[in-house]
Structures are given as C-alpha cells and as structure tokens.
Amino acid sequence: MNVKEEVARRAKIINEAMEELLPFKEPEGLYKACRHLIKAGGKRLRPVLCLISAEALGEDWRRILPAAVAIETVHNFTLIHDDIMDRDEMRRGVPTVHKLFGEPTAILAGDTLFAEAFEVLTKCEVDARNLVKAVEMLADVCVRICEGQFLDMEFERREFVSEEEYLEMVKKKTAVLIACSCSIPAVLFGKSDKVVDALWNFGLLSGIGFQIHDDVLDLIGGKMIGKDWGSDLVEGKKTLVIIKAMEMGVEIDIFGRGKASEKEIEKAVKKLKDCGAIDYASKKAREFVERGKEFLKVLPDSDARRLLMELADYLVTREY
C-alpha cells in the first residue's frame, strides 16, 4: 500500500467536491481571495483522513463527503487568518491571501470560508440528529482553534514557555481539527461514544505529532515547504525545538528578530541540530503518533484501518 498514492487518489476526490460545493460567486474579488489558497493545492490530509475513517467504519464515504470538504474549508479559513497575524508572505508556494488581496479582503475571505464550512456540512446525507451533533463538534473545534492561536501569539510575548504549555497550545491550534477529521464520520453515522472517542484520540495524538514535525520542517525543510523558511525562528515562536534549546541554555541570536538572511537562518538551524533540540522534537512527534495508533484497536482489521496507521506515520516523516 503506497500512502502517497492513496492520499493523492482521495485528494483528487476532495478537489472535485470542493469545485462543486464551493463555487465562485459574486462579488468576484471576494471569492477570488476565498478560493486562492484552495486553488493553490495542498495535501488535503484532513479531509482524506475523514474519508478513510469512514471507510474504516465500513460506511459509504460519499454520504459524508461534504463533511470532509467542510473540514478543509475550516482549515483554509485558519490559514488565511494565521498568515495575516504572522505576517507571512508565502503559503503553498504562492503569495498569501493578504499579500495578494490586502488585509481587509483577506479577513473577509477567511470569515466567508468559516461560514461556508457549516453550510457545506449540512449537505451530508445522514440522520438529522447526527448532523446536529457534527455541527456542535465542528463549532467547538473552531472555538478551540481560536484559543490555540491566541496562546501561540501570547507565547511570543513571554520569555519562558514550558513544554506542557506548548503541547496544550498545539493540541488546540492544530490537533483538534485533525481529531475532528478522524471522528466526525463516526458522529455522522451514529456510532457509539466509544468509537467516536477512540477516533478522536487517535486524531488528537497524531495531530500533536504532526504539528511538532511541522515545526521541525520549518527549520530543516528549506524552500520545499512552500512557505517562508525559518519564519518561526524570526517571529519568535516558542516551538518545542526552541523550548528544548532554551532549557539547555542555547542562544539563537535571530530568534524573534523579525528578519534574517538565509545564512543567518542556516547558522541558527545548525546550532539547534548540534544541541540535539531538533532530534528531541522529532522523537516526541513519533511518540505521540505511536500512542495515537493504539486507539485504532477499537476498529475491525481492514485495509482502511491499516491505511490510517500508515498515514499517521506519514504525518511525522513527511519531508514537506
């Protein structure tokens, strides 16, 4: 089973569904901004996880395809607003929405996507009571994402952040949407709380590992990652790598400076590698995924369950 091929096949399904469920409308300028990052591509990992989870439950993913699209729509809403707050200029290899269309339009584009996500979700062909529960879940997840983003910004102003605080922030900012991706099919199909919770925990722990690895890629991925390389360093983000380096008394002179040359970033990354902080974070990411995979034992053995496990491993081994 080739994970990348399996993901790509389902990502194509997601892209086609997004074309249908998220059409261009008037005013043209607003919807160009709304669809900019969606058109730029992306791995579609969250909606793909949603479809595979439905398969692992033995259900027809076509009935809940709009939920997968809704999750990717929420994800794109968060990216637009994150890029504004972080002043990032590149995303998925293209200029960010606020860079191309201006901040006011970018804010409106994010808001529009947020609303569209819930409209799309209602198109799932399931029992209305289960749909209400799914809407509640996604709304709660959106609140937690905002809490996580606030913590992330607050940490930039603080001199010290503990590993526990970082993990709580990551859980909210990133992992809860991945947890939702994995568990919302179980909600929509009316599965037991035991199954819903197991898929939630699988996604949550895998999502924490995913974000830790993403922080590592920001340092070692270079231009391959398709966004501003080393941006976490110069913006002063308290990632697990930085937290560990600070614990060891390692000083990174470009940290939080706001700007740095490629040579300076290379020098800082070498320091973080040499002190072992990057390896420490990578090991932690793999540990979270291993813990998450244990929760899949609630599901019967199937190709889809095995694919979920392989995809979880991919989340913490991918190179961009």
For residues 24-42, give the mean pLDDT. Answer: 95
- Residues 278, 216 contacting (CB under 8 angstroms): yes
Please list, in sequence order, all residues whose beta carbon lies within 8 angstroms of the beta carbon of residue 20, skipping any fewer than 6 positions away.
Answer: none
Tell me which range, 53-57, 89-93, 267-271, is most confidently predicted by mean pLDDT: 53-57
| 0.85 surpassed by pTM | yes
For residues 255-269, give the mean pLDDT. Answer: 86
Residue 117 belongs to some domain of the structure: yes
Residue 42 CA to residue 71 CA, distance in Å, equals: 13
261: confidence class by pLDDT, cuts 50, 70, 90 = confident
Residue 320 belongs to some domain of the structure: no
Q: What is the pLDDT of residues 140-182, one digit of tens each?
A: 999 999 999 999 999 988 989 999 999 999 999 999 999 999 9
Residue 10 CA to residue 40 CA, distance in Å, equals: 17
Residue 230 belongs to some domain of the structure: yes
Residue in this structure with the two tokens 């160009």, named with its chain if needed: 32
Q: Which CATH number fits the domain that encloses residue 36?
A: 1.10.600.10
- Residues 238, 210 contacting (CB under 8 angstroms): no
Looking at residue 226, its pLDDT comes to 47
- Residues 94, 16 contacting (CB under 8 angstroms): no
Full residue range of the structural domain in which residue 147 is found: 3-315
Residue 144 belongs to some domain of the structure: yes
**For the residues of 35-91, what is the DSSP string, one character each?**
HHHHHT----HHHHHHHHHHHHTT--GGGGHHHHHHHHHHHHHHHHHHHHHHT--EE
Which CB contacts under 8 angstroms, 24+ apart, belong to 32-35?
A: 32/101, 33/97, 33/100, 33/101, 33/105, 33/106, 33/108, 33/109, 34/109, 34/112, 34/113, 34/116
Residue 210 belongs to some domain of the structure: yes
- Residues 229, 223 contacting (CB under 8 angstroms): yes
Is pLDDT at 224 greater than 60 in this prediction?
no
Domain count, the chain: 1
For residues 241-250, give the mean pLDDT. Answer: 94
- Residues 179, 201 contacting (CB under 8 angstroms): yes
